Structure 1
């Protein structure tokens, strides 16, 4: 799955599950400050993204969210796990 595909799926989840405005979800959007997501939301996001783990790739671990601050950080972290 490419970074662009990960971003699209991430955006879909943020809109449908967290009821965020799609226009607010940009690569440079800060998860906490701009999107008002907390650590519990991050865990929910990991659970949802695990459903899209490509076959043969490791699943996403919540620990990757300790270092992320922006939407692009999330995309990059997931892409690294699935590389």
Structure 2
């Protein structure tokens, strides 16, 4: 899957499922602060990733994920 498709899918479900404003979605956006995602939202995010991309994520996967770009990279690497 191409990176652009991954980014588009992630952005779409952040807007639809988490009601994130599209202008807040930038590669440098901090997942917790800018996107206001709490720990329960991360659980929902993991479920959404599994259903949209067919990959499983665990807590350790998020250790180095701070920004949305980090998250895009994580999903891209999981799909390889």
- TM-score band by shorter chain is 0.7 to 0.9
Q: Are 1:67 and 2:64 matched, yes or no?
A: yes
Segments ≥4 residues shifted beyond 3 Å: none
Q: Give the paired residue count.
A: 79
Using the size of structure 2 for normalisation, the TM-score is 0.88
Q: List per-residue Cα deviations over 1:30-57 (Å, max 9, x = no partner).
A: 0111111122211211111111226xxx
Q: Is the 8 A contact 1:31 1:69 kept in 2?
A: yes
Matched, 1:77 2:74: yes
Distance 2:41 2:28 in 1: 18
Q: Pairwise CA RMSD of aligned residues?
A: 1.3
Higher helix share: 2
